Amino acid sequence: MEFSYRISETDYLNAERPLKISKSSIVKTIMFWLIILACLMVLITWLQHSPQRAPVVQPPTVHRVEPSRNAWDYIEGFGPLLLAVGLWALTSVLGPKLLRRRYKKDPAMQGQFTVTLTPESISIQNTAGISTRSGWDSYFGWYEAKGVMVLFSRPATRFLVSLAGLSDAQQNELRGILTAALPKK
């Protein structure tokens, strides 16, 4: 099976998303527990600064005047929460921007790929000058994202295969070859 394609910026971003989901679930879990911790800290601070009520049987003889809370007390109470929300917002905005920048700077992603797949090997050529032929033992897995398939090779590199120009029959043939040769991740 031989076909040619170009990797679009959308394909590149979609290929990153499944990896990001696992990382993002960890980040979401950490953020959840940080927010719970921040809320507990605010609750404890509020309880410590709230006026204590005297028992009903003994009337209070001395009234303590509690100092009023200033802005710094509120910052101390809500600081961890604000920091956690700020870090989450920063990573959610910068992540896609960094991926787009990496895509635009990589000349290999701008070229046209020609891939030849057989049950024994894969051959890749690119107009940017990349040419390789290797057996399936050079790869350890693959997954499919929106409109793109990602192959993982041993040295922790990825190879993207766009599905945009392939018919359904070709996509099924590609899935069949990859399923027979590699485990799906």
* Pairing label, strands 148-153, 139-145: antiparallel
| Mean pLDDT value across residues 111-139 | 85
Instruction: Express each pLDDT in 163-185 by its tens digit.
Output: 888 888 888 888 888 888 888 77
Average pLDDT of the segment spanning 144-168: 81
Length, in residues, of the chain = 185
Domains of the chain, residue spans? 9-105, 108-181
Question: 29 and 141 in contact (C-beta within 8 Å)?
Answer: no
CB contact at 8 A, 79 and 96: no
Count of Cβ atoms closer than 10 Å to residue 162 Cβ: 22
Q: What is the pLDDT of residues 13-57, one digit of tens each?
A: 877 755 444 566 677 778 888 888 888 888 887 777 766 655 556
CB 184 within 8 A of CB 142: yes
